[in-house]
Amino acid sequence: MSEPRRSIATVCLSGTLEDKLAAASAAGFDGVEIFENDLIASAASPAEIRAYCRDLGLSIDLYQPFRDFEAVPPARFRQNLRRAERKFDVMEQLGTDLVLVCSTVSPEAVDDDELAAEQLRELAERAQRRGMRVAYEALAWGRFVNTYEHSWRIVRRADHPALGLCLDSFHVLSRGGDPALIRTIPGEKLFYLQLADAPQLDMDVLQWSRHHRLFPGQGSFDLTTFAGNVLDAGYSGPLSLEVFNDVFRQADPKPAAVDAMRSLRLLEERLGLPVAEPAPDLDGYAFAEVVADPGTAARLADGLAALGFAETGEHRSKPVRRWEQGGARVLINTSGAGPDTAEIGALAVESADPLRSARRAEAMSSPILPRERGPQEAGLVSVAAPDGTGVFFCDTAADDGWRGDFRDTAAPAAGLITGIDHVSLTQPFDHFDEAALFCRSVLGLEPEEVTEYAAPFGMVRNRGMVDATRSVRIALNGALVRRGEWAPAVRDPQHIAFTCTDVLAAAERLRASGAPVLPIPDNYYDDLDARFDLDPDLLGALRRGSVLYDRDAGGEFLHLFTELFGSRVFLELVQRVGDYAGYGVGNAPVRMAAHRRQRMTAFGR
């Protein structure tokens, strides 16, 4: 089966109608749904918008919405028909032949399927005379018609060739509808398909719809089954996104449209459509790169040395040094960073086929980044995550791998650290879902459950993204509300977590060497004793080493943190006992408060 046409409703994006259309075209969409409010606010005539879309390579697939039409008294029906003719005039100028009619919420309407069918038949007859069609949609909050089964009964009763259904995944799945029955609807009566994901929320369905929809792959709905049933029924129109979301409608429309396209491609892949090569298997991290100014880089190097790392190499053409212990590798890059700056500039994952990973990234709307390459240096490829972090695809064992770009200066250190367990990246609130979708579509990672916790400066959201073997873990974090200028001394923290065979032993060594371990207050350990009734010797060792602890049904988790290097980067040692798969997020508020104390003390406040 060939790739379907892809469309997006202008309501998904921020800006003027012209801004939205330009963004949709740049992201590679084939067509758009024109939302009536966007057209009304535009200074361009419908004919001018038609010409603009033509120049951008966009078709206008749908004009919407036409509200509160059916099952009304005769006088109101005559007014509605007049209103419809004016909309047909607009559609004629736009060059589109399909209008969306939402099931009524009008207080004048009556619960009468026969009357609704009769009036919709008359509307379809008028549309057909003008070469147009009507797609009837059941709103999840419709006054009488709020399921697709009910809307189909009315369309079937009306029995007009210019009247069909619009199926919207939100309206079906938010009510717990059974999409399997869609297969029984003739394909020629499925005029349009609208797709939206959403988180599972217990709230009024109208508010849920208006504010919390998401692009496919960002929420909890089973869109693969839903859309698969529509395609199996014989639907041949575009796959179109209709997403009402407060964040998207304030964000820059260009990256939002790219995110939307990426979401459709991921859904299409799961539908078995030929979109991209499968994501190659991953096998852990090749390295993590920290970009820092020279002073901060020196402090970070001292911290790595205290943790048992050895400096093992110097890049042949760039100011980058390599540090290693066991299978953990950290690159420190001192090019271009401002004072007191350190940030995770790049991650490198071990790919079974780096070139195929790169081709997949490009197919998923993540173009390969330009990269300066010295003579005889490896041809590494990378893409940019939504927050700007570079992601490299590597094969460290290859003869022409990235290690050849370094002059070796020492052998890797052996110690308690064996590799990188996970990397934690703080995302701006309006990029949190986008970052998760990037990890899913480009890297082939799967999302874990979202957890939220009360931190010293507001609610924080956390979501792990993992590969099938959990060799690559990325922990995404984001504040639910933007914080004021007064609050945190540590903004947008990032850290690298290393696997450790014995965190308590590591803590003893670090304490003896004066390493920059983050001090944890006694109150934490008093509460830990109350919650878990730990062995006194274990509790004492945890307290002495500033080691934090968590436990669940799968096992135990021991971890410690370093102090900050620069304004936002720190390191973590973690030990997983049994099948513990989390990140100790319950301890995050304690760590955040401790880092703020360190940061404020460092600046004498």
In DSSP terms, which residues pair with 458 in a beta bridge?
Answer: 455
Q: What are the pLDDT digits (tens) for 427-455? A: 877 788 899 999 999 999 999 998 888 88
Given a cut of 60, whether residue 96 has pLDDT beyond it is yes
Give the relative orientation of helices 432-443 and 354-363 as an angle to the nearest 10 degrees.
130
Is 168 flagged in the annotation as binding? yes
Mean pLDDT comparison of 133-147, 203-217, 403-417, 457-471, highest-scoring range: 133-147
Cα 9 to Cα 39: distance, rounded to the nearest angstrom = 12
| 533 among annotated binding-site residues | no
pLDDT at residue number 386: 87
Query: Looking up tokens 């650290």, which residue turns up?
Result: 417
Question: Could you tell me where the beta strands, DSSP code E, fall in 28-102?
Answer: 31-35, 59-66, 98-102
* pLDDT score, position 603: 56
Rounded distance between C-alpha atoms, residue 51 and residue 31, angstroms: 13
As a whole number, mean pLDDT of residues 284-302 equals 95
Q: Return the minimum-mean-pLDDT range out of 147-156, 244-253, 378-387.
A: 244-253
User: Which range, 53-57, 205-209, 339-343, 591-595, is most confident?
Assistant: 53-57
H or E segment to which residue 354 belongs? helix 354-363
Is 382's pLDDT higher than 70? yes
Give the pLDDT score at 443. Answer: 95
pLDDT for residue 483 is more than 60: no
Asked if 223 and 175 touch (Cβ cutoff 8 Å), the reply is no
The DSSP H or E segment spanning 421 is strand 417-426
Q: How many Cβ atoms are within 10 Å of 45's Cβ, its own excluded? A: 13
Residue 572 assigned ligand-binding role: yes
Please, are residues 395 and 401 in contact by the beta-carbon 8 Å criterion? yes
Instruction: Give me the pLDDT at residue 486, please.
Output: 53
> Domain boundaries in the chain?
6-270, 282-602
Express each pLDDT in 305-320 by its tens digit: 999 999 999 999 899 9
> What is the structure's pLDDT at 485?
57
Structure-token pair, residue 562: 């370093």
CA distances in angstroms from 92 to 89, 98, 487, listed in the order given: 5, 10, 55
Cα–Cα dist 470/284, whole Å? 8
pLDDT at 340: 78
pTM score, whole prediction = 0.89
In the 3-class helix/strand/coil scheme, how is 487-500 assigned residue by residue? CCCCCCCEEEEEEE
Tell me: is residue 377 an annotated ligand-binding position. no
CB 470 within 8 A of CB 420: no
Q: Supply 204's token pair.
A: 């009024």
CA–CA distance, 388 with 427 (Å, rounded to integer): 10
Pairing of strands 458-466, 473-479: antiparallel
State how far the Cα of 474 lies from the Cα of 144, in Å rounded to an integer.
Answer: 46
Q: Residue 553 has what DSSP assignment? A: S
Q: Percentage of residues in the chain with pLDDT exceeding 90? A: 76
Which is more confidently placed, 207 or 43?
43
Q: How far is CA 479 from the centre of its chain?
A: 15
Q: Is 282-602 the same fold as 6-270?
A: no
pLDDT interval class at 210 (50, 70, 90)? confident
Instruction: At 256, list the tokens.
Output: 């939002």
User: SS3 letters for 281-300?
Assistant: CEEEEEEEEEEECHHHHHHH
Phi-psi region of 492 (alpha: psi -120 to 50; beta: other; left: phi over 0): left
pLDDT class of 409 with cuts at 50, 70, 90: very high
Using pLDDT thresholds of 50, 70 and 90, give the confidence band for residue 466. Answer: very high
- Give domain 282-602's CATH number out of 3.10.310.30, 3.10.180.10, 3.40.30.10, 2.102.10.10: 3.10.180.10
The pair of three-digit structure tokens given for residue 133, joined into one six-digit string: 């069609």
Distance CA 347, CA 385 (A): 10
**140, 176 in Cβ contact below 8 A?**
no
Residues whose CB falls within 8 Å of the CB of residue 302, separated by 6 or more in sequence, listed in order: none
Task: Give the span between the Cα atoms of 491 and 241, in whole angstroms.
Answer: 34
18 is in an annotated binding site: no
Which CATH architecture fits 6-270?
Answer: Alpha-Beta Barrel (3.20)
